[in-house]
Amino acid sequence: MPKTKKALIQLGENIRLARLRRKLSVELVAERAGISRSTVWAIEKGAPSVSMGAYAAMLLAVGLHDDLLRVGADDQLGRTLQDLSIQPKKRAPKKISDVL
């Protein structure tokens, strides 16, 4: 899908820039992440064939593992849909004991 491909390319570029800002070599990141250099390059290109685990390992290796935890953390759309599906009660409770 085009949107997914574009998002992965952007993610890979962001990870590459983070690695370069930290002055980490491909070899060092690959070793820290437990992946091959070619996998590091594939991630930096946004390859969809690379496993989510490899992406997560690379994020950890460059110090961005907390960013992975932000995915879906502030789900505005999900909360709105949930709020729309909550049905308020149409009747008041019949017993006084139900209110207290």
- pLDDT (0 to 100) of residue 97: 66
Q: Flag whether 64 is in a domain.
A: yes
Residue 10 lies in a domain: yes
What's the number of CA atoms in the CB half-sphere (13 Å) around residue 8? 17
Residue 99 lies in a domain: no
Q: Is residue 55 part of a domain?
A: yes
Q: Is residue 21 part of a domain?
A: yes
Per-residue burial over 67-89, b if 16 or more Cβ lie within 10 Å, else e, is eeeeeeeeeeeeeeeeeeeeeee
The three-class DSSP label of residue 15 is helix
Number of domains in the chain: 1
18: domain CATH number? 1.10.260.40
- Comparing 3-7, 43-47, 56-60, 94-98, the range with the smallest average pLDDT is 94-98
Residues 56-90: pLDDT tens digits? 999 999 999 888 888 878 888 888 888 887 766 67
Confirm whether 94 is domain-assigned. no
What's this model's pTM, rounded to 2 decimal places? Answer: 0.73
Domain assignment of residue 50, given as a range = 2-85
The answer as to whether 25 is a domain residue is yes
- 98 assigned to some structural domain: no
